[in-house]
Amino acid sequence: MSLRLMTLALFVWTLAAVSSAQAGDVDAGRRKAEPCAACHGADGNATIVGMPSLAGQPAWFTHWALIKFRDGRRKDPVMSPFAARLSDVDMADLSAYYAAQPPRRRPQAVDAAKAAAGKELASLHHCTSCHRPDLSGQNQVPRLAGQDLEYLLKLLRAYKAQTAGDLEGLMTQAAQPLSAADIENLAHFMAISPASPAP
Ligand code: HEC
Ligand code: HEC
């Protein structure tokens, strides 16, 4: 791993250690998630193509994503208005609820040859050192395993183009060496991976 990446990876753990994330209430989160179900699925496993699943995401990742949508660091015309209305307590409760839901791999057509090439790239580019070897995510690093293919492609292309507002630019940095073909192969690998829950 390059020195720069090691520094970044270390930063993630340090940030995780110092963040005193407020523990959310899962039952309150279930009620508050009702308006989210139309897009993200009742249990956080979305079925609409291009829509991210939230089930099994580390709570800190979801909480950070919601903060970024609320303060405009991350923008999406469909999603941003929903985050604008949430309080910090709402975000903690929603994050705890989704973290507690078992993730399921999306039923989607995935190219096995591309996925095999993507598996090699994921270790070559150290994706697995932050996202974990089974891509289940941890702390502020999201679960990727079994996520929607179109969504994965969209986000990776945005990180490469430096238009995705990510926390401290870690992912933007990680995406810079990737070619368009690498992105395609990596997305197929992530999409085909079994969606085991985060530890
Ligand atoms: C009308 C559809 C819709 C509704 C309702 C909705 N969202 Fe979203 N949400 C989206 C879309 C589209 C994205 C992807 C945005 C992007 O591409 O950056 C998204 C992204 C997210 C993400 C980031 C996921 C990731 O893996 O990066 C989180 C977290 C999230 N939504 C939480 C919520 C919560 C909590 C609610 C309810 C309060 C909610 N959403 C309601 C459409 C919706
Ligand atoms: C230094 C740690 C680190 C490395 C290395 C890394 N990532 Fe990430 N990744 C993150 C973090 C942190 C986020 C969340 C960014 C945010 O939204 O603030 C993320 C987000 C993502 C997302 C968006 C998922 C979602 O639901 O929003 C994808 C896709 C992704 N990474 C794929 C990869 C791939 C492929 C690689 C290897 C080329 C990689 N990552 C390497 C830390 C890393």
Residue 158: per-residue pLDDT: 96
Residue at 187 is within a domain: yes
**Is residue 1 one of the residues assigned to a domain?**
no
Residue 5 has pLDDT above 70, yes or no: no
Domain membership of residue 199 (yes or no) is: no
Q: What is the pLDDT of residues 183-198, one digit of tens each?
A: 999 999 999 999 875 5
pLDDT tens, position by position, 115-147? 999 999 999 999 999 999 999 999 999 999 999
Q: Which residues line ligand 2 (CB under 6 A)?
A: 5, 8-9, 12, 52, 64-65, 125-127, 129-131, 140-142, 144, 152, 155-156, 166-167, 170-171, 174, 178, 186
CATH number at residue 91: 1.10.760.10
Q: Name the band, by pLDDT with cuts 50, 70 and 90, for residue 169.
A: confident
Q: Closest ligand 1 atom, CA of 86? A: 38
pLDDT greater than 70 at residue 171: yes
For ligand 2, atom 23, the nearest C-alpha belongs to: 155
pLDDT in tens, 60-100: 999 999 999 999 999 999 999 999 999 999 999 999 999 99
**Residue 167 confidence (pLDDT):** 75
Per-residue pLDDT, 12 = 53
pLDDT band at 168; cut points 50, 70, 90:
confident
Distance (Å, whole) CA 115 – CA 143: 17
In angstroms, what is the span from residue 107 Cα to ligand 2's centroid?
A: 22
Residue from 54, 130, 136, 168 whose mutation best tests the ligand 2 pocket (most atoms within 8 A of CB): 130
Number of other residues whose CB lies within 10 A of the CB of residue 76 = 10
Structure token digits, residue 36: 């989210």
93 and 46 share one domain = yes
pLDDT over threshold 70, residue 57: yes
Residue of minimum CA distance from atom 10 in ligand 1: 79
Burial degree of 80 (CB within 10 A; 0-12, 13-18, 19+):
middle
CB 152 within 8 A of CB 144: yes
| Domain total in the chain | 2
pLDDT digits (tens, 9 = 90+) for 143-167: 999 999 999 999 999 999 999 988 7
Whether residues 82 and 39 share a domain: the answer is yes
The C-alpha atoms of residue 79 and residue 51 are separated, in whole angstroms, by 10
- The more confident residue out of 8 and 132 is 132
Q: What is the pLDDT of residue 18?
A: 41
In a domain, 6, yes or no: no
How far apart are the CA of 128 and the centre of ligand 2, in A? 10
Task: Indicate whether 88 and 120 sit together in one domain.
Answer: no
> What was the pLDDT predicted at 8?
52
For the beta carbon of residue 198, count every other beta carbon within 10 angstroms: 21
Half-sphere exposure of 95 (CA within 13 A, CB side): 25
Q: Where does 33-148 have alpha helices with state H?
A: 37-40, 59-71, 80-84, 88-99, 112-124, 127-131
182 in a domain, yes or no?
yes
Residue finishing a domain among 62, 78, 99: 99
pLDDT at 23: 84
Q: Do 37 and 65 lie in a common domain?
A: yes
pLDDT score recorded for residue 142: 96
Pick from 78, 99, 120: which residue ends a domain?
99
| Mean pLDDT, range 11-29, rounded to an integer | 66
- Number of the ligand 2 atom closest to the C-alpha atom of 147: 26
Do residues 31 and 95 share a domain? yes
pLDDT of the residue at 4:
55
